Amino acid sequence: MTSTTTAAPPGADRGSGARPAGTGAALPWLHVAPALGVVVLWVYLPLLATLALSFFRWNLTGDERPFVGLDNYAALLGDPAFARAAGNTLIYALGLLPLAVLLPLAVAILVWNRGGRLRQAYRTILFAPVILPPVVGAVMWQWLLHPLLGVVNLALGGIGVGPQNWLGDRDLAIWSVIVVTGWKVFGLGFLIFSAALSGLERNQIEAARVDGATEGEITRAIVLPLLTPTILLMTFLTVTLGAQWAFSAVHVLTQGGPAGATDNLYYLLYRYAFGYFDTGTASALAVLVFAGFAVLALAQLRLTDRLGHDR
């Protein structure tokens, strides 16, 4: 007796383990759905709520929220503190570039070239300020910069320089805050540049050494071009987030003073919201900050992409 087996037609059900139609296309979205849900819940919904609040007047303590349209934006743009904070925000971004990009890059290359067993120790010491809580670091600098008892003034007195009111002088305060912030951010830049250097191929560098190239020529002609994407990344982060990085130092050391000399858009937003309880104006400022830095970020990304392709 012969048994005959009939082949199943294409597309027929091959058992209970077969996927329903369309599951293959939906599966990637199921994997990213939790992350998307978190982003929507914690980023986009608060952003939309902030945009809505910017058209109302609310003092954060009562239930009344009268609709005022664009009045919050008009009041904000007419406030001299806004123009001063915007100018200071630009100063923070530009003032931090040497401390967050140039100096960490130079030190990272120096440590990378030095090599040896102490390289990791150097990296740990230079990265240590990043681990220190921002408020703790700011309080430490508050003592160091004290006009009478601070170590900085005592050291300057030893070389004949008189004491300076680092945090109380309008001309010195913002630069003091930039130095304190840069001291904290330096380790982050150093770590990023050190990681980029660790990923470089040494074949070209060793070949250049065999050909008689000096360390300076190797750095200028080989290392720096290879580090261009990382340099652009750190520049992008510093310009975009510099004033935000300075928030803790401003809050602990100067509270935006003296006379608004160290204020910036982020600290002004904090003061509107939790100092004046003016939630509507604070929301309007948050929307303007978001829009301004979004445009700046897009411009920097275009520039980074263009320079990257040029390389």
Look up the CATH architecture of domain 71-310. Answer: Orthogonal Bundle (1.10)
Phi, psi of 283 (to 5 degrees): -65, -40
**Using 50, 70 and 90 to split pLDDT, how confident is the model at 310?**
low
What DSSP character marks residue 222?
A: I
Residues in the chain: 311
pLDDT at 143: 94
In whole angstroms, how far apart are CA 243 and each of 69, 106, 196, 239? 29, 23, 25, 8
Residue among 129, 122, 125 nearest 99 (CA)? 129
- Cβ atoms 265, 176 nearer than 8 A: no
pLDDT at 10: 53
pLDDT at 60: 79
**Using 50, 70 and 90 to split pLDDT, how confident is the model at 1?**
very low
pLDDT digits (tens, 9 = 90+) for 95-151: 999 999 999 999 999 988 876 677 788 888 888 899 999 999 999 999 999 998 899
